[in-house]
Structure 1
Amino acid sequence: METLRYRFPGTQALGSAELHALVGVVASGNLEVLVEPAALDGAMEIEVITSARGFGEVWQAVLADFAARHPLRDVRLSLNDAGATPAVVSLRLQQALETLAERGSDA
């Protein structure tokens, strides 16, 4: 197992301090994403726990792209990876944001 940590500057608030989302599953070729608010001085922190070692540069590229498109502030994302491809990672991250948006509109 390898643990990778990334930090990106953010400009967009998550919304309510109670908003959180959990999407995906930890299964072969898949990924679980937990999004939760956190006091991070305006940053977004992403922690990846992965069974696939040696892909730090790929993770950096995929997550930097996500952070550029969605510069969330004061939010922590925890990713539990079981060999997901970059496309699956992007899909799960988008799914987490859609889940947050749905919960925010229900409030």
Structure 2
Amino acid sequence: METLHYRFEHGSRRLPAAPELVGVVGSGNLEVLIEPAALSGACKIDINTAARGFGAIWEAVMHDFHQRWQLTDVSISINDMGATPAVVSLRLDQAVEAMLEKK
């Protein structure tokens, strides 16, 4: 297992107070837990992945996600079992959209 941590500052979009869990950890998939957190305006992303050595790809996918959503005061936990970057992006977007539907 490899653990990666990312923090993005200066987001502008707040999410509702209820946490959201999407996806299922299984062969080739992942789960995403997204929840509000007091982070002084930051978005924190913690990743546990079975696929070691892909830090640069994870960083690119997380940067793209942050640019797309600009989240603030949000904590995201990802448990990965080898999902492709497209699936990672899909699950992250799915989690944010599910939270926005709760507004």
Per-residue deviation, residues 35-55 of structure 1 (Å, max 9, x unmatched): 001110100000000000000
- What's the counterpart of residue 88 of structure 1? 87
Q: Which runs of 5+ in 2 are unaligned?
A: none
How many angstroms does 1:19 deviate by? 2.0
SS of corresponding position for 1:73? coil
- What's the counterpart of residue 4 of structure 1? 4
Q: Which runs of 4+ in 1 moved over 3 A?
A: none
- Find the aligned partners of 2:53 and 2:31 in 1 and give their Cα distance: 20
- Find the aligned partners of 2:97 and 2:61 in 1 and give their Cα distance: 18
Q: Which has the higher strand share?
A: 1
CA RMSD of aligned residues (A): 0.8
Matched, 1:33 2:27: no
Q: Which runs of 5+ in 1 are unaligned?
A: none
How many angstroms does 1:95 deviate by? 0.7
- Find the aligned partners of 2:70 and 2:30 in 1 and give their Cα distance: 21
SS of corresponding position for 1:13? coil
- What's the counterpart of residue 13 of structure 1? 14
Q: Which amino acid aligns with 1:3?
A: T
- What's the counterpart of residue 63 of structure 1? 62
- What's the counterpart of residue 97 of structure 2? 98
- Give the TM-score normalised by structure 1: 0.92
Q: How many residues align?
A: 102
Within a 5 Å distance, the mapping from 1:44-59 to structure 2 comes to: 44-59=43-58
Matched, 1:43 2:45: no
- Give the TM-score normalised by structure 2: 0.95
